[in-house]
Each structure stands twice: as C-alpha cells, then as structure tokens.
Amino acid sequence: MRMNMDWRRAQVYSVEEIAEDVRKVEVDIEGPLPPFDPGSHTNVIVMIDGQRAVRTYTCIQTASGRLAIAVKRHANSRGGSRFIWSLNPGDRTEMTVPENRFELSWRAEHYLLIAGGIGVTPIYGMAKTLAQSGQSLRMIYGASSLAAMPFLNELRERLGDRLALFPADQGRAINLEAEIAALPEGAELYVCGPLGMLNAVKQAWAQAGRPVSRLRYEVFGDNGKFAETPFEVAVANRDVTVHVRPDQSLLDALIGAGVEMIYDCQRGECGLCAVKILELQDGMVDHRDVFFSEEEKHENRSMCSCVSRLTAGRAVIDVGYRL
Ligand code: FES
C-alpha cells in the first residue's frame, strides 16, 4: 500500500538506447504533467510473470516536455528492468506524477555531485539545473566504461572541466578524501550510486567532520554483497510461507501471497516495509538498505523486505500489525 499516489495512464512515445545497456523510454502521460525538479521520481506499474508490481525511476525532463526514464538492463533483474526493456512505442502502462525525495537545497555555496553507473539519472538533472543557474559545482561520474555512461556528451558540453570521469576499465579510481577535503565549508555533496559507493562516501564525509545535513544520497536497492538466490520465508501467526525467487523481492512475494504490506520507496530508504526476523534457520541476511544502521544490520532483527534478501535457506518473520 502506498499513500498519496496520483496514478495516470501512460503510453510509450519513444525508446532509445543512450548507452551500453541503458535505455531511455519517453512517455506521454494522461492529463497535464506538473513541472518537476531534478531528483524527482515516478512510480511505474511493471508486469512480472503476469503480476502487477511497482518500480520507481528517476524522472528525466525532455525537450518535448514529455517525461522520460532511463533504465539499465540488469543481468539479475527482479523483473522491473526486464519489463521496461520489453516496452515499445505505443505500449501502455500506468505511472505516477513526479514526486521528489532527493531535492537540491539551493542553499550551498558549492555542490559536489557524485554519480555511480545508472545513479547518474538524478545527478544529471541536478548538474544541468545547477549549471543553468550559474551555481558553483563539480561532478564526479564513475561507471564501468565511457560507453556505459549515459548523458556523457551533454554533460561534457555543459560542464567542461567541472566534470571528472572515472571509467573503471581505464583504472581510474575516485579519491573521495581528496575531493571532500577540497570543498569549501558551506559545500554540499549529493551522491547516487551503488551501495558500496554510498557507504564509502558516507564514511569519508563523516571522517572529514562534515555535517550530516549537507550530505544527501540515493542508492539503488538491488545490489547486495551476494548474488540473488531463492529462499523461503514463513510468516509467524499466519498460514503463509513464501518462496522468493531470485528475480523477485521478499516484498513482492509477500504481497503476491496476500499479505498486506505498507511500503513506499522500494529502494531501502524509508524503512516502511521492514519485517521482524524471528528465526533465521539457514543462510545469512544480505542487507541492501540504507535505512538500518550497520549495528542494526549486524543484529539481524529486522530487514527491509523491498531490497534485502536471504542468501539461502529459510527464516520466520513477523509482519507486525499487518493483516
Ligand atoms: S519500501 Fe522503503 S525501505 Fe522498503
């Protein structure tokens, strides 16, 4: 269950491959499209094995005034990117109007933007907007290779030497400590990328003694320490046991089994989908959220069902107040 969702019918207008394994899908949305800021998201109904599920993607402004999303094809897709990659012009789905939980503050004297892989989608919009309004910024962009970097040419044109590229296949690594040390006192850092990148940025930011309020981040919820494997979860006090496929989240499996769940971000950020772990009978929990602290993850008492998984085996969980 998600609250305050303004769902609209949407029709695919165009599909374009904008980098290696990255497709931009431009859509026409029913009704007037409200203006949206960089960092905004839309929720999309995707069909996974005949079941409706919701996935969240960053909104990209297009020259035509339509809304677009850029989606990377994941080898271990839980079904969302596979569905988006199956879309062709004329296909229909449902989407929500943009909402923003990763907003620019507009108060900083300088902005450091860091993008990892497809995490560039919100950072690209922020870089464009900040550059257009004459703000002081630097953007760091890391990915597996230059070919895997969407929006690269446009960013080069707009940012010039304010853009630093770190393609891993050229052996270039980001020196986070040096980047943070070079920032003026009133600077803010915005980062979107995989969990490992986010944790490294958070650690370097804290070690530099920078205020937590000036670091803003967003993470992909679908990358963990371990490969996706099937596992089983029994819901205490319910006659429900779910078998979670490698391409499926625990949240989707629970909803599919008729367990009423409350959730929101589906990226491991808000904690609304958390379930209590009463018993872990085998395997480990691969915590993929940024909601719980490292200590809480170590205790293994709860997990965010939208992104976190078991490496194998079975657990007994409590979904609390949910029916
Ligand atoms: S829905 Fe937000 S953490 Fe799972």
Q: Which of 73, 100, 127 is the last residue of a domain?
A: 100
pLDDT at residue 4 is higher than 60: no
Tell how far the Cα of 67 is from the centroid of ligand 1, in angstroms: 24
226: in domain? no
Can you say whether residue 250 is alpha, beta or left, with left for phi > 0 and alpha for psi between -120 and 50 degrees? alpha
> Among the atoms of ligand 1, which is closest to the Cα of residue 307?
4
Q: What is the average pLDDT across 232-248?
A: 90
Q: Of 39-48, 156-165, 214-223, give the lowest mean pLDDT range.
A: 214-223
Selected residue with higher pLDDT from 265 and 127: 127
Average pLDDT over residues 72-89: 85
Kindly state whether residue 323 falls inside one of the protein's structural domains: no
Residue 282 and residue 263 share a domain: yes
88 in any annotated domain: yes
State how far the Cα of 265 lies from the Cα of 41, in Å rounded to an integer.
10
The two tokens of residue 76 are 């271990």
Q: Verify that 138 and 202 share a domain, yes or no.
A: yes
Query: For residues 232 and 27, what is the distance between their CA atoms, to the nearest angstrom?
Result: 37
CA of 288 to the centre of ligand 1 (A): 11
Residue whose C-alpha is closest to residue 232's, from 246, 218, 212, 214: 246
Best residue for ligand 1 mutational test, from 56, 217, 220, 270 (most atoms within 8 Å of Cβ): 270
Q: What one-letter code names the amino acid at 228? A: E
* pLDDT at 107 exceeding the cut of 90: yes
Burial class of residue 288 (count of CB atoms within 10 Å of its CB; 0-12, 13-18, 19+): buried
List, in sequence order, every beta strand (DSSP E) within the chain: 7-19, 22-29, 40-48, 51-58, 60-61, 67-72, 92-96, 99-100, 110-116, 137-143, 163-167, 187-193, 215-219, 231-235, 240-244, 274-280, 285-286, 302-304, 309-310, 314-318
Taking the CA of residue 271 as reference, the ligand 1 atom at the shortest distance is 3
CATH number of the CATH domain containing 306 = 3.10.20.30
305 alpha carbon to ligand 1 midpoint, in Å? 7
Residue-range definition of the domain harbouring residue 144: 110-219
Q: For residue 173, what is the domain's CATH number?
A: 3.40.50.80
Rounded to the nearest angstrom, the distance between the alpha carbon of 135 and the centre of ligand 1 is 33
Residue 321: pLDDT band (50, 70, 90) is low
d(CA 205, ligand 1 centre) in Å: 24
Q: Which of 3, 266, 296 to mutate to test the pocket of ligand 1 (most atoms within 8 A of CB)?
A: 266
Instruction: Write the DSSP symbol of residue 213.
Output: G
Ligand 1 atom closest to 265 (CA)? 2
Percent of the chain with pLDDT over 70: 95
Question: For helices 120-132 and 152-159, what crossing angle results, to 10°?
Answer: 30
Residue 224's pLDDT is what? 66
Domain membership flag for residue 2: no
According to the model, what pLDDT value does residue 306 have? 92
Give the distance (Å) from ligand 1 centre to CA of residue 64. 33
pLDDT tens string 117-148: 999 999 999 999 999 999 999 999 999 999 99
Average pLDDT of the chain?
Answer: 91
d(CA 165, CA 172): 8
Q: Calculate mean pLDDT across residues 183-208.
A: 93
Q: Are 116 and 214 in the same domain?
A: yes
Q: Are residues 27 and 78 in the same domain?
A: yes
Residues 153 and 214 in one domain: yes
Task: Give the distance (Å) from ligand 1 centre to CA of residue 304.
Answer: 6
State the CATH number of the domain containing residue 78: 2.40.30.10
What pLDDT score does 220 carry?
A: 66
Say whether pLDDT at 1 is over 90: no
- For residues 279-292, average pLDDT: 89
Q: Are residues 145 and 85 in the same domain?
A: no
Tokens describing residue 190: 């915005």
At residue 61, the pLDDT reads: 86
Q: Say how many domains are in the chain.
A: 3
The answer to whether residue 225 is domain-embedded is no
307 domain residue, yes or no = yes
**Pocket around ligand 1 at a 6 A CB cut-off:** 263-266, 268-273, 289, 291, 304, 306
pLDDT of residue 52: 80
| Co-location of 116 and 65 in the same domain | no
Tell me the sheet residues that pair with 53: 46
| Domain final residue pick, 219, 247, 277 | 219
Domain-ending residue, one of 80, 100, 120: 100
Q: How confident is the model at residue 78 (pLDDT cuts 50, 70, 90)?
A: low
**Together in a domain, 277 and 198:** no
User: Residues 8-20: what's their mean pLDDT?
Assistant: 97
Same domain, 311 and 247: yes
Are residues 36 and 121 both part of a single domain? no
Q: Is residue 1 domain-resident?
A: no
Mean pLDDT of 203-218: 94
Would you say the pTM of this structure is higher than 0.85? no
pLDDT band at residue 323 using 50, 70 and 90 as cut-offs: very low
Convert 121-135 to b/e letters by CB count within 10 Å (16 or more is b): bbbbbbbbbbbeeeb
| pLDDT confidence tier of residue 227, bands split at 50, 70 and 90 | confident
Q: Mutate which of 1, 273, 308 to test ligand 1's pocket (most atoms within 8 Å of Cβ)?
A: 273
189 found inside a domain: yes
Residues 313/244, Cβ–Cβ less than 8 Å: no
pLDDT computed for residue 77 by the predictor: 64
Stated length of the chain: 323
Q: Are the C-beta atoms of residues 205 and 215 closer than 8 Å to each other?
A: yes
Question: Picking from 79-83, 116-120, 145-149, 305-309, which range would have the lowest pLDDT averaged per residue?
Answer: 79-83
Summarised one tens digit per residue, pLDDT across range 56-69 is 899 998 888 899 99
| Nearest one of 196, 250, 201, 244 to 224, comparing CA atoms | 196
Going by the DSSP 8-state scheme, the letter that residue 146 receives in this structure is G
Closest ligand 1 atom, residue 269 Cα: 3
Whether residues 23 and 94 fall in one domain = yes
Q: Which residue's alpha carbon is at the smallest distance from atom 3 of ligand 1?
A: 268
Residues 114 and 214 in one domain: yes
pLDDT of 237 strictly over 70:
yes
Per-residue tokens: 155: 């960013």
Q: Collapsing DSSP states into helix, strand and coil, what is residue 130?
A: helix
